[in-house]
Chains A and B, each alone.
Chain A
Amino acid sequence: MPGVAGAERLLGEVEEAEAALREAAERELDGEASFDAVIAADQKIEPRDAMPDAYRAGLIRQIAQHAHSEIIGMQPEGNWISRAPSLRRKAILLAKVQDEAGHGLYLYAAAETLGVSRQELDTALLTGKQKYSSIFNYPTLSWADMGAIGWLVDGAAIVNQVPLCRCSYGPYARAMIRVCKEESFHQRQGYQSLYVLAQGTPAQRAMAQDAVDRWWYPSLAMFGPPDADSTHSAQSMAWKVKRFSNDELRQRFVDMCVPQAEILGLTLPDPDLTWNEQRGHYDYTAPDFEELMRVVKGDGPCNRQRMAHRNRAHEEGAWVREAAAAYAEKNRKAVA
Protein backbone atom coordinates (compact mmCIF):
# COMPACT_ATOMS: atom_id res chain seq x y z
CA MET A 1 0.00 0.00 0.00
CA PRO A 2 1.34 3.46 -0.81
CA GLY A 3 2.26 5.62 2.16
CA VAL A 4 -0.26 8.06 3.53
CA ALA A 5 1.38 11.38 2.77
CA GLY A 6 0.96 13.71 5.68
CA ALA A 7 0.41 11.15 8.41
CA GLU A 8 4.09 10.98 9.20
CA ARG A 9 4.40 14.73 9.09
CA LEU A 10 1.45 15.18 11.45
CA LEU A 11 2.85 12.67 13.90
CA GLY A 12 6.12 14.57 13.70
CA GLU A 13 4.24 17.71 14.67
CA VAL A 14 2.78 15.94 17.69
CA GLU A 15 6.26 14.96 18.79
CA GLU A 16 7.48 18.52 18.22
CA ALA A 17 4.62 19.83 20.34
CA GLU A 18 5.57 17.40 23.08
CA ALA A 19 9.20 18.50 22.90
CA ALA A 20 8.16 22.17 22.92
CA LEU A 21 6.02 21.52 25.98
CA ARG A 22 8.99 20.08 27.83
CA GLU A 23 11.35 22.76 26.57
CA ALA A 24 8.98 25.60 27.54
CA ALA A 25 8.50 24.03 30.96
CA GLU A 26 12.22 24.28 31.57
CA ARG A 27 12.46 27.90 30.50
CA GLU A 28 12.53 30.35 33.38
CA LEU A 29 9.73 32.92 33.48
CA ASP A 30 11.02 36.43 34.23
CA GLY A 31 9.19 38.05 37.12
CA GLU A 32 5.50 37.48 37.74
CA ALA A 33 3.96 34.26 36.48
CA SER A 34 0.70 36.07 35.77
CA PHE A 35 -1.79 34.53 33.35
CA ASP A 36 -0.75 36.90 30.55
CA ALA A 37 2.96 36.32 31.18
CA VAL A 38 2.52 32.55 31.03
CA ILE A 39 0.55 32.81 27.79
CA ALA A 40 3.08 35.22 26.29
CA ALA A 41 5.95 32.87 27.17
CA ASP A 42 4.17 29.94 25.50
CA GLN A 43 4.05 28.08 28.76
CA LYS A 44 1.12 26.12 30.17
CA ILE A 45 -1.65 27.24 32.46
CA GLU A 46 -2.23 24.56 35.10
CA PRO A 47 -5.46 23.74 36.98
CA ARG A 48 -4.80 25.75 40.13
CA ASP A 49 -3.46 28.86 38.35
CA ALA A 50 -5.49 32.04 38.27
CA MET A 51 -7.22 32.41 34.89
CA PRO A 52 -9.90 34.68 33.41
CA ASP A 53 -13.43 33.31 33.90
CA ALA A 54 -14.01 33.38 30.16
CA TYR A 55 -10.88 31.31 29.55
CA ARG A 56 -12.11 28.70 32.01
CA ALA A 57 -15.67 28.70 30.66
CA GLY A 58 -14.53 28.59 27.05
CA LEU A 59 -12.22 25.67 27.71
CA ILE A 60 -14.87 23.73 29.59
CA ARG A 61 -17.23 24.24 26.65
CA GLN A 62 -14.63 23.22 24.08
CA ILE A 63 -13.18 20.22 25.94
CA ALA A 64 -16.63 18.96 26.90
CA GLN A 65 -17.86 19.20 23.33
CA HIS A 66 -14.74 17.41 22.21
CA ALA A 67 -15.25 14.64 24.81
CA HIS A 68 -18.92 14.25 23.86
CA SER A 69 -17.87 13.91 20.20
CA GLU A 70 -15.54 11.03 21.03
CA ILE A 71 -18.33 9.27 22.95
CA ILE A 72 -21.08 9.79 20.35
CA GLY A 73 -18.50 9.10 17.64
CA MET A 74 -18.45 5.45 18.69
CA GLN A 75 -21.99 4.94 17.36
CA PRO A 76 -21.59 5.28 13.57
CA GLU A 77 -18.70 2.81 13.57
CA GLY A 78 -20.12 0.62 16.32
CA ASN A 79 -22.92 0.03 13.82
CA TRP A 80 -20.59 -2.15 11.72
CA ILE A 81 -18.61 -4.09 14.32
CA SER A 82 -20.88 -7.13 14.19
CA ARG A 83 -20.91 -7.06 10.38
CA ALA A 84 -17.22 -6.54 9.66
CA PRO A 85 -16.18 -8.66 6.66
CA SER A 86 -13.42 -10.53 8.49
CA LEU A 87 -12.17 -11.22 11.98
CA ARG A 88 -9.14 -9.06 11.28
CA ARG A 89 -11.25 -6.05 10.27
CA LYS A 90 -13.51 -6.65 13.24
CA ALA A 91 -10.59 -6.63 15.69
CA ILE A 92 -9.25 -3.41 14.12
CA LEU A 93 -12.63 -1.70 14.25
CA LEU A 94 -13.19 -2.77 17.85
CA ALA A 95 -9.78 -1.42 18.84
CA LYS A 96 -10.51 1.86 17.12
CA VAL A 97 -13.91 2.30 18.75
CA GLN A 98 -12.36 1.41 22.11
CA ASP A 99 -9.75 4.13 21.53
CA GLU A 100 -12.53 6.66 20.95
CA ALA A 101 -14.04 5.73 24.33
CA GLY A 102 -10.59 6.29 25.84
CA HIS A 103 -10.31 9.68 24.13
CA GLY A 104 -13.63 10.69 25.62
CA LEU A 105 -12.43 9.72 29.09
CA TYR A 106 -9.06 11.52 28.79
CA LEU A 107 -10.94 14.64 27.75
CA TYR A 108 -13.62 14.45 30.45
CA ALA A 109 -10.79 14.14 33.00
CA ALA A 110 -9.12 17.24 31.48
CA ALA A 111 -12.39 19.18 31.67
CA GLU A 112 -12.87 18.15 35.30
CA THR A 113 -9.58 19.83 36.24
CA LEU A 114 -11.36 23.11 35.44
CA GLY A 115 -13.89 22.55 38.20
CA VAL A 116 -16.81 20.95 36.38
CA SER A 117 -17.99 17.53 37.63
CA ARG A 118 -18.35 14.40 35.52
CA GLN A 119 -22.01 14.30 36.48
CA GLU A 120 -22.58 17.79 35.10
CA LEU A 121 -20.82 16.82 31.86
CA ASP A 122 -22.78 13.56 31.49
CA THR A 123 -26.03 15.39 32.12
CA ALA A 124 -25.15 18.12 29.63
CA LEU A 125 -24.64 15.50 26.92
CA LEU A 126 -27.69 13.40 27.78
CA THR A 127 -30.00 16.41 27.85
CA GLY A 128 -28.52 17.96 24.72
CA LYS A 129 -27.40 21.06 26.64
CA GLN A 130 -23.91 20.64 25.21
CA LYS A 131 -23.20 19.65 21.61
CA TYR A 132 -20.99 17.14 19.89
CA SER A 133 -19.47 17.27 16.41
CA SER A 134 -22.12 17.39 13.69
CA ILE A 135 -20.30 14.75 11.64
CA PHE A 136 -21.65 11.95 13.84
CA ASN A 137 -25.21 12.77 12.86
CA TYR A 138 -24.68 11.17 9.46
CA PRO A 139 -25.54 7.50 8.89
CA THR A 140 -23.08 4.71 8.07
CA LEU A 141 -24.79 3.00 5.15
CA SER A 142 -22.14 0.57 3.94
CA TRP A 143 -18.97 -1.18 5.07
CA ALA A 144 -16.96 1.24 2.94
CA ASP A 145 -18.07 4.01 5.30
CA MET A 146 -15.66 2.53 7.88
CA GLY A 147 -12.83 3.24 5.49
CA ALA A 148 -14.09 6.69 4.52
CA ILE A 149 -14.59 7.67 8.16
CA GLY A 150 -11.10 6.57 9.14
CA TRP A 151 -9.53 8.38 6.22
CA LEU A 152 -11.64 11.55 6.09
CA VAL A 153 -13.31 11.99 9.48
CA ASP A 154 -10.35 10.91 11.61
CA GLY A 155 -8.13 12.70 9.10
CA ALA A 156 -10.01 15.97 9.58
CA ALA A 157 -10.03 15.40 13.33
CA ILE A 158 -6.25 14.99 13.31
CA VAL A 159 -5.75 18.21 11.33
CA ASN A 160 -7.94 19.96 13.90
CA GLN A 161 -6.32 18.31 16.89
CA VAL A 162 -2.61 18.43 16.14
CA PRO A 163 -2.43 22.20 16.82
CA LEU A 164 -4.31 21.60 20.08
CA CYS A 165 -1.26 19.69 21.32
CA ARG A 166 0.18 23.20 21.74
CA CYS A 167 -2.88 24.57 23.53
CA SER A 168 -2.07 26.83 26.47
CA TYR A 169 -4.03 24.75 28.98
CA GLY A 170 -1.69 22.02 30.25
CA PRO A 171 -4.13 19.15 30.92
CA TYR A 172 -5.83 19.66 27.54
CA ALA A 173 -2.52 19.86 25.65
CA ARG A 174 -1.25 16.69 27.33
CA ALA A 175 -4.50 14.83 26.65
CA MET A 176 -4.34 15.90 23.00
CA ILE A 177 -0.79 14.60 22.62
CA ARG A 178 -1.98 11.22 23.87
CA VAL A 179 -5.04 11.32 21.59
CA CYS A 180 -3.15 12.38 18.46
CA LYS A 181 -0.59 9.60 18.81
CA GLU A 182 -3.45 7.10 18.82
CA GLU A 183 -5.31 8.79 15.97
CA SER A 184 -2.76 8.04 13.29
CA PHE A 185 -3.70 4.35 13.51
CA HIS A 186 -7.33 5.33 12.97
CA GLN A 187 -6.61 7.23 9.81
CA ARG A 188 -4.27 4.61 8.41
CA GLN A 189 -6.57 1.66 8.95
CA GLY A 190 -9.35 3.59 7.22
CA TYR A 191 -7.22 4.57 4.26
CA GLN A 192 -5.89 1.05 3.89
CA SER A 193 -9.37 -0.46 4.09
CA LEU A 194 -10.60 1.94 1.42
CA TYR A 195 -7.58 1.17 -0.74
CA VAL A 196 -8.37 -2.55 -0.63
CA LEU A 197 -11.95 -1.86 -1.71
CA ALA A 198 -10.81 0.50 -4.46
CA GLN A 199 -8.59 -2.30 -5.84
CA GLY A 200 -11.42 -4.82 -5.57
CA THR A 201 -14.38 -5.80 -7.72
CA PRO A 202 -16.33 -3.11 -9.59
CA ALA A 203 -19.03 -3.34 -6.92
CA GLN A 204 -16.51 -2.85 -4.10
CA ARG A 205 -14.97 0.04 -5.95
CA ALA A 206 -18.37 1.65 -6.45
CA MET A 207 -19.11 1.19 -2.75
CA ALA A 208 -15.82 2.93 -1.84
CA GLN A 209 -16.56 5.82 -4.22
CA ASP A 210 -20.08 6.19 -2.86
CA ALA A 211 -18.73 6.40 0.69
CA VAL A 212 -16.23 9.10 -0.27
CA ASP A 213 -18.99 11.00 -2.09
CA ARG A 214 -21.12 11.05 1.03
CA TRP A 215 -18.41 11.81 3.63
CA TRP A 216 -16.39 14.48 1.79
CA TYR A 217 -18.50 17.56 2.46
CA PRO A 218 -19.53 16.65 6.03
CA SER A 219 -15.80 16.16 6.73
CA LEU A 220 -15.03 19.64 5.35
CA ALA A 221 -17.77 21.00 7.59
CA MET A 222 -15.99 19.56 10.66
CA PHE A 223 -13.70 22.59 10.63
CA GLY A 224 -16.63 24.79 11.55
CA PRO A 225 -18.12 27.91 10.00
CA PRO A 226 -16.02 30.10 7.69
CA ASP A 227 -13.67 32.51 9.46
CA ALA A 228 -15.92 35.48 8.79
CA ASP A 229 -18.72 33.88 10.85
CA SER A 230 -16.65 32.23 13.53
CA THR A 231 -17.67 33.65 16.89
CA HIS A 232 -15.10 32.38 19.39
CA SER A 233 -12.00 32.46 17.23
CA ALA A 234 -10.20 35.74 17.96
CA GLN A 235 -10.15 35.44 21.75
CA SER A 236 -9.31 31.76 21.51
CA MET A 237 -6.31 32.57 19.30
CA ALA A 238 -5.13 35.33 21.67
CA TRP A 239 -5.25 32.84 24.53
CA LYS A 240 -3.41 30.28 22.41
CA VAL A 241 -6.14 27.71 22.73
CA LYS A 242 -6.62 27.81 19.00
CA ARG A 243 -3.63 28.26 16.71
CA PHE A 244 -5.12 28.36 13.22
CA SER A 245 -8.41 29.59 11.80
CA ASN A 246 -11.15 27.24 10.60
CA ASP A 247 -10.47 28.06 6.96
CA GLU A 248 -6.72 27.60 7.30
CA LEU A 249 -7.21 24.12 8.74
CA ARG A 250 -9.85 23.24 6.15
CA GLN A 251 -7.44 24.24 3.37
CA ARG A 252 -4.69 22.18 4.93
CA PHE A 253 -7.00 19.16 4.99
CA VAL A 254 -8.03 19.60 1.34
CA ASP A 255 -4.41 19.93 0.26
CA MET A 256 -3.56 16.69 2.06
CA CYS A 257 -6.54 14.74 0.73
CA VAL A 258 -6.23 15.46 -2.99
CA PRO A 259 -3.03 13.46 -3.57
CA GLN A 260 -4.25 10.75 -1.20
CA ALA A 261 -7.46 10.39 -3.24
CA GLU A 262 -5.40 10.10 -6.42
CA ILE A 263 -3.45 7.20 -4.95
CA LEU A 264 -6.71 5.53 -3.98
CA GLY A 265 -7.95 6.02 -7.53
CA LEU A 266 -11.14 7.57 -6.17
CA THR A 267 -12.56 10.99 -6.97
CA LEU A 268 -13.43 13.68 -4.50
CA PRO A 269 -16.94 14.88 -5.35
CA ASP A 270 -15.94 18.41 -6.31
CA PRO A 271 -15.67 19.29 -10.00
CA ASP A 272 -14.09 22.64 -9.09
CA LEU A 273 -11.19 21.12 -7.21
CA THR A 274 -8.14 22.61 -8.95
CA TRP A 275 -4.58 23.47 -8.07
CA ASN A 276 -4.14 27.21 -7.73
CA GLU A 277 -0.56 27.96 -8.65
CA GLN A 278 -0.74 31.46 -7.29
CA ARG A 279 -2.06 30.53 -3.86
CA GLY A 280 -0.05 27.34 -3.68
CA HIS A 281 -3.23 25.56 -2.59
CA TYR A 282 -6.15 23.70 -4.09
CA ASP A 283 -9.29 25.72 -4.79
CA TYR A 284 -12.32 23.80 -3.60
CA THR A 285 -16.05 24.10 -3.11
CA ALA A 286 -16.96 25.00 0.45
CA PRO A 287 -19.36 22.72 2.29
CA ASP A 288 -22.96 23.79 2.74
CA PHE A 289 -22.75 25.80 5.96
CA GLU A 290 -26.50 26.15 6.19
CA GLU A 291 -26.72 22.39 6.31
CA LEU A 292 -24.03 22.43 9.02
CA MET A 293 -26.08 24.86 11.11
CA ARG A 294 -29.21 22.74 10.64
CA VAL A 295 -27.39 19.60 11.77
CA VAL A 296 -25.81 21.39 14.74
CA LYS A 297 -29.25 22.63 15.77
CA GLY A 298 -30.57 19.06 15.84
CA ASP A 299 -31.94 18.45 12.37
CA GLY A 300 -29.38 16.11 10.85
CA PRO A 301 -30.25 12.65 9.56
CA CYS A 302 -29.34 10.88 12.83
CA ASN A 303 -29.43 13.44 15.68
CA ARG A 304 -32.44 11.91 17.40
CA GLN A 305 -31.16 8.38 16.94
CA ARG A 306 -27.73 9.23 18.42
CA MET A 307 -29.22 10.96 21.46
CA ALA A 308 -31.78 8.21 22.03
CA HIS A 309 -29.08 5.56 21.82
CA ARG A 310 -26.80 7.42 24.23
CA ASN A 311 -29.62 7.87 26.74
CA ARG A 312 -30.67 4.23 26.41
CA ALA A 313 -27.09 3.02 26.88
CA HIS A 314 -26.78 5.22 29.96
CA GLU A 315 -30.00 3.88 31.49
CA GLU A 316 -29.26 0.29 30.60
CA GLY A 317 -25.79 0.65 32.11
CA ALA A 318 -27.16 1.81 35.47
CA TRP A 319 -27.08 -1.69 36.95
CA VAL A 320 -23.37 -1.99 36.16
CA ARG A 321 -22.58 1.22 38.01
CA GLU A 322 -24.78 0.15 40.92
CA ALA A 323 -23.22 -3.31 41.07
CA ALA A 324 -19.71 -1.84 41.03
CA ALA A 325 -20.62 0.54 43.86
CA ALA A 326 -22.26 -2.26 45.87
CA TYR A 327 -19.23 -4.51 45.40
CA ALA A 328 -16.87 -1.74 46.53
CA GLU A 329 -19.11 -1.09 49.55
CA LYS A 330 -19.17 -4.79 50.47
CA ASN A 331 -15.37 -4.93 50.31
CA ARG A 332 -15.07 -1.82 52.46
CA LYS A 333 -17.29 -3.42 55.11
CA ALA A 334 -15.35 -6.67 54.97
CA VAL A 335 -12.14 -4.76 55.64
CA ALA A 336 -13.62 -2.62 58.43
Chain B
Amino acid sequence: MTSDVPLWEVFVRARRGLAHTHAGSLHAPDADMALRHARDLYTRRQEGVSIWVVPATEITASSPDEKDSFFDPAADKIYRHPTFYELPEGVAHL
Protein backbone atom coordinates (compact mmCIF):
# COMPACT_ATOMS: atom_id res chain seq x y z
CA MET B 1 0.00 0.00 0.00
CA THR B 2 2.72 2.51 0.79
CA SER B 3 5.11 1.01 -1.73
CA ASP B 4 4.17 3.56 -4.39
CA VAL B 5 3.99 6.46 -1.93
CA PRO B 6 7.33 8.23 -2.38
CA LEU B 7 9.87 8.57 0.43
CA TRP B 8 10.96 12.09 1.43
CA GLU B 9 13.95 13.16 3.45
CA VAL B 10 13.09 15.89 5.96
CA PHE B 11 15.43 18.74 6.96
CA VAL B 12 14.49 21.11 9.76
CA ARG B 13 15.96 24.50 10.61
CA ALA B 14 15.69 24.86 14.36
CA ARG B 15 16.25 28.60 14.56
CA ARG B 16 17.13 31.44 12.29
CA GLY B 17 20.83 31.33 11.71
CA LEU B 18 21.18 27.56 11.97
CA ALA B 19 21.44 25.27 8.96
CA HIS B 20 18.67 22.86 8.09
CA THR B 21 19.57 19.52 9.63
CA HIS B 22 18.37 16.09 8.62
CA ALA B 23 15.56 15.08 10.99
CA GLY B 24 14.37 11.84 9.39
CA SER B 25 12.15 10.68 6.58
CA LEU B 26 8.51 10.00 5.76
CA HIS B 27 6.20 8.84 2.98
CA ALA B 28 3.87 11.25 1.17
CA PRO B 29 2.26 11.36 -2.28
CA ASP B 30 3.63 14.80 -3.18
CA ALA B 31 5.80 17.64 -1.90
CA ASP B 32 2.93 19.65 -0.39
CA MET B 33 1.68 16.74 1.64
CA ALA B 34 5.23 15.81 2.57
CA LEU B 35 5.67 19.30 4.04
CA ARG B 36 2.47 19.08 6.03
CA HIS B 37 3.30 15.61 7.31
CA ALA B 38 6.82 16.77 8.19
CA ARG B 39 5.38 19.64 10.21
CA ASP B 40 3.15 17.23 12.14
CA LEU B 41 5.80 14.58 12.58
CA TYR B 42 9.00 16.50 13.25
CA THR B 43 7.92 19.88 14.68
CA ARG B 44 5.11 19.07 17.13
CA ARG B 45 6.99 21.00 19.81
CA GLN B 46 8.12 23.95 17.70
CA GLU B 47 11.41 22.30 16.85
CA GLY B 48 11.71 24.33 13.71
CA VAL B 49 11.07 27.55 11.84
CA SER B 50 11.62 26.09 8.38
CA ILE B 51 11.37 22.68 6.75
CA TRP B 52 12.79 21.24 3.54
CA VAL B 53 11.51 18.02 2.05
CA VAL B 54 13.55 16.32 -0.64
CA PRO B 55 12.52 13.22 -2.61
CA ALA B 56 14.79 10.47 -1.29
CA THR B 57 15.37 9.27 -4.86
CA GLU B 58 16.81 12.68 -5.77
CA ILE B 59 19.65 12.33 -3.29
CA THR B 60 22.89 10.99 -4.65
CA ALA B 61 25.11 9.73 -1.88
CA SER B 62 28.81 9.00 -1.98
CA SER B 63 29.64 5.38 -1.47
CA PRO B 64 31.22 4.26 1.81
CA ASP B 65 33.29 1.73 -0.17
CA GLU B 66 34.92 4.53 -2.09
CA LYS B 67 35.26 6.71 0.95
CA ASP B 68 39.04 6.50 0.95
CA SER B 69 39.77 7.22 -2.69
CA PHE B 70 37.02 9.82 -2.71
CA PHE B 71 38.20 11.87 0.24
CA ASP B 72 41.89 10.99 0.36
CA PRO B 73 43.10 13.70 -2.01
CA ALA B 74 42.46 16.22 0.74
CA ALA B 75 44.34 14.22 3.36
CA ASP B 76 47.88 15.22 2.43
CA LYS B 77 47.18 18.91 1.93
CA ILE B 78 48.10 19.86 5.42
CA TYR B 79 49.32 23.21 4.12
CA ARG B 80 45.66 24.19 3.95
CA HIS B 81 45.65 24.49 7.72
CA PRO B 82 47.12 27.53 9.45
CA THR B 83 48.90 25.29 11.94
CA PHE B 84 51.17 24.18 9.09
CA TYR B 85 52.97 27.47 9.28
CA GLU B 86 55.38 27.96 12.08
CA LEU B 87 55.63 31.53 13.11
CA PRO B 88 58.68 33.29 14.43
CA GLU B 89 58.73 33.82 18.14
CA GLY B 90 56.93 36.86 19.43
CA VAL B 91 54.57 37.33 16.50
CA ALA B 92 51.12 38.15 17.91
CA HIS B 93 47.62 38.46 16.51
CA LEU B 94 48.30 36.24 13.55
Q: Which residues of chain A have a CB within 8 Å of any CB of chain B?
A: 33, 46, 48-50, 95, 98-99, 102, 105-106, 109-110, 112, 117-119, 122, 174-175, 178, 182, 314, 318, 321, 324-325, 327-329, 331-332
Contacts and interface: CB of A to CB of B under 8 A. Distances in A.
A331 B61 CA distance: 29
Contact of A118 (B3, B61, B65): B3
A106 B30 contact: no
B30 to A, nearest CB: 4
B33 A109 contact: no
B71 to A, nearest CB: 12
Contacts of B5: 118, 321, 325
Contact of A324 (B24, B29, B41, B45): B29
B2 A109 contact: no
B7 interface: yes
Given A46-B64, A48-B63, A106 B24 contact: yes
B68 to A, nearest CB: 9
A119 B27 CA distance: 11
Interface in B14-69: 24-30, 32-33, 40-41, 44-45, 61, 63-65, 67
A59 B29 CA distance: 28
Contacts of B26: 105, 109
* Residues of A contacting B: mostly: helix
Contacts of B25: 109, 112
Nearest to A120: B3
B55 to A, nearest CB: 12
B1 interface: yes
Given A112-B25, A175-B24, A328-B30, A117 B63 contact: no
- Between B1, B5, B32, B64, the greatest number of chain A beta carbons within 10 A of the residue's beta carbon is seen for B1
Nearest to A102: B41
Interface string B59-94: 001011101000000000000000000000000000
Contacts of B67: 33
CB-based closest 5 A-B pairs? A328-B29, A328-B30, A119-B3, A118-B2, A109-B25
B73 to A, nearest CB: 18
A98 B44 contact: yes
Contact of B61 (A48, A105, A182, A321): A48
B1 A119 contact: yes
B1 A325 contact: no
Given A48-B63, A112-B7, A122 B33 contact: no
A112 B25 CA distance: 9
B24 A122 contact: no
B64 A48 contact: yes
Contacts of A325: 4-5, 29
B63 A328 contact: no
A38 to B, nearest CB: 11
Nearest to A99: B44
A118 B28 CA distance: 12
B24 A49 contact: no
